[in-house]
Structure 1
Amino acid sequence: MARSGRSLFIISITIISIITLLTFTSLPGISATSKINEHPSVIAQSVNLGAAFKELNIEGSILIYDQNNQKFYQHNASHNSTAFLPASTFKILNSLISLETGVIKDEIAILTWDGIMREFPTWNRDTNMRQAYKDSTVWFYQVLARRVGHERMQQFINQVGYGNRQIGTPEQIDKFWLSGPLQITPKQQIEFLQRLYRRELPFSQRTFDVVQDIMIIEKTPNYILRAKTGWATSVKPNIGWFVGYLEQNNNVYFFATNIYMKDAADAPKRIELTRRSFKALGLL
């Protein structure tokens, strides 16, 4: 009987231990910490990227691709599959094509301003590609597009597989990315940026070197951020873009932020939404 009683006691203790373990591991604080330590990507899966959109009173989407873990994190999946005018985000590809075809020698070759006063003071001056990319100078890239020409531009866009590949008639050569018919989805932006990063596009190493360098908008000892903004004013509401990729922690995070912009006050929110989303993922 004593041996039997001891066995029952041991069984009871075991059952209690199991119940206790199950109870504590089901608590959010304990289970989340354990899983996050073992699998860092769980952090991103549990983060609500829509919070920043509510905080900033903005409608739109963000899509982030974690290369090492091969995972997408997003807000507003249907929006990320919707095509929009690329606006000035097309300057990335326009730069690649213009350098590759030799219509401009390099990123410091200067084009002369035509003297026409435009809405932004930084546009009203002679400039080069490095500065024009930074200032998003429309006329500079329109000159480059006209120099490339309709036929060569269409050939490169077809080879790259950029967006819907439609650039319209020869008369639209300097505005097809601003007012159509060229359109691209946030998902397609990510695909293009991945191929750019991996240098899987039909351009020389020199062209890649130059464009990836002028794309840098922030560089610290901890990360490099390459990106381009875009602002489509030919549609209502206006469409705002911020696309690029973040290199941090021996990893690359490709992103495409797309928002509806009510006015100029919403312009900075393209970048702020992206930064908040990265911070929510433990980056930047």
Structure 2
Amino acid sequence: MKKQSVALALVISLCVSTQGAARTICTIVMDEAAVEIMHQTGVCDNRVTPASTFKIALALMGYDAGILQDSHRPALPFRESYPDWGGDSWRKTTDPERWMRYSVVWYSRQITPLLGTSLLTQYATDFDYGNADFNGDFAQSNGLERAWMSSSLQISPREQVNFLSRMIRNDLPVSVEATDRTLAIIESTETSGGWRIWGKTGAAYPRRDTGSFDYTSGWGWFVGWAKRDGTTLVFAHLLQDERRHGASPVLRAKVTILAGFDDLVSEVVP
């Protein structure tokens, strides 16, 4: 426990020390019923890549279509041809729970071909999930591999919270079982103020005109929902680096929300 506390303190220290190297694009908090914006900072209507936050929507699609079965099925083995830039955690047999926890890209790529472009587009359209564009990179025919990663699929922070609100209220055109099984694989933590927060991170880098990635301007997402004493809020936090440095933008996006959530909502939820 002591080692974990020290490690967490180091992570927070690193994130805080590099926070000045990034700007908050949007922080938005909304009540579960999607009626009232409780807090908004920045511009929340511009669309960018959802990156790995798309895994929430993809899980709903996969469970509803019967491709995913529960938290541990299907368990798929790692193959040498799969992307492994996520380290050792990506080089292991992966089930839906591990997929979400470690944000395993290759597992997503086993689900999307089984759904196909037409069904992915239909689901995303029904979800009002951004522009619902799964064409992928221009003239590359790679939408099933990377549409959600600095490519054609785009979503705004406001659309993120609207989508999450509908999911929590079972207001999406998927089965209740699909929603319940998706909720079951999202990691959660508790703040010192008693909020239980569920969320998913996402990180990606803009494309230059040459097609290369701009590693100085990484996006970091953290989206999810929080519950305390019968109150449920949904949120989206998006930042963007202004220079390249060691701390991941996605890590900082998550840490800043978790560390500041109690203060963020204290004025609207006593």
Q: 1:231 aligns with which of 200, 203, 206?
A: 203
State the partner residue of 1:148.
115
- Within a 5 Å distance, the mapping from 1:114-133 to structure 2 comes to 114-116=79-81, 118-119=84-85, 120-133=87-100
- Does the residue aligned with 1:149 lie in a helix, a strand or coil? helix
Query: Against the structure 1 CA distance between its residues 70 and 224, is the aligned structure 2 distance closer, same or farther, given a 3 Å change threshold?
Result: same
In structure 1, what is the Cα distance between the partners aligned to 2:18 and 2:261? 15
Structure 2 matches for 1:41-80, cutoff 5 A?
56-57=19-20, 58-60=22-24, 61-67=26-32, 70-76=36-42, 78=43, 80=44
Say whether 1:265 aligns with 2:265. Answer: no
Q: Whose helix proportion is higher, 1 or 2?
A: 1
| C-alpha separation in 2, matches of 1:228 and 1:67 | 17
Unaligned runs of 5+ in 2: 1-14, 208-213
CA drift of 1:67 comes to 4.2
1:265 maps to amino acid: A
- Tell me which residue corresponds to 1:242: 222
**What SS is found at the alignment partner of 1:191?**
helix
In 1, the alpha carbon distance for the partners of 2:60 and 2:181 equals: 9
- In the alignment, the residues of structure 1 paired with residue 106 and residue 246 of structure 2 have an alpha-carbon distance, to the nearest angstrom, of 20
**Partner of 1:265: helix, strand, or coil?**
coil
Following superposition, the deviation at residue 81 of structure 1 comes to 1.4
Provide the C-alpha distance between the structure 2 equivalents of 1:124 and 1:107, rounded to a whole number of angstroms: 19
Which structure's CA Rg is the greater one?
1
* Within-5 A mapping of 1:172-211: 172-211=143-182
1:278 counterpart residue number? 261
Cα deviation for residue 219 of structure 1 reads: 5.2
Unaligned 5+ runs, structure 1? 1-51
Q: Counterparts of 2:46 and 2:37 in 1: how far apart (Å)?
A: 20
- Tell me if the contact between 2:18 and 2:247 (Cα under 8 Å) persists in the aligned partners: no
Structure 1 residue aligned with 2:188: 217
TM-aligned CA deviation for residue 232 of structure 1:
1.0
State whether residues 143 and 174 of structure 1, in contact with CA within 8 Å, keep that contact through their aligned partners in structure 2.
no
Of 189-198 and 113-122, more deviation after overlay is shown by: 113-122
Q: TM-score when scaled to structure 2?
A: 0.78
1:148-167 alignment, distance < 5 Å: 148-167=115-134
2-structure distance, mates of 1:139, 1:147: 13
Provide the residue aligned with 1:108 in structure 2: 72
Cα distance, 1:132–1:94 mapped onto 2, change above 3 Å: same
Residue range with higher mean Cα deviation, 186-195 or 53-62: 53-62
Superposed CA deviations along residues 179-204 of structure 1, whole A, max 9, x for unmatched, are 32110000000100100110100111
Normalised TM-score (structure 1): 0.74
The alpha-carbon deviation at position 264 of structure 1 amounts to 4.5
The answer to whether the 8 Å contact 1:99/1:207 transfers is: yes
- Give me the whole-angstrom Cα distance separating, in 1, the residues matched to 2:178 and 2:102: 20
Displacement of 1:218 in angstroms is 1.7
1:230-270 Cα deviation digits (max 9, x unpaired): 00135431111000000112111111010113344043211
Aligned residue in 1 for 2:5: none
Closer, same or farther: CA 54–112 of 1 in aligned 2, 3 Å: closer
User: Quick one: structure 1 residues 264 and 233, their matched pair in 2 at CA, closer, same or farther if it must change by over 3 Å?
Assistant: farther
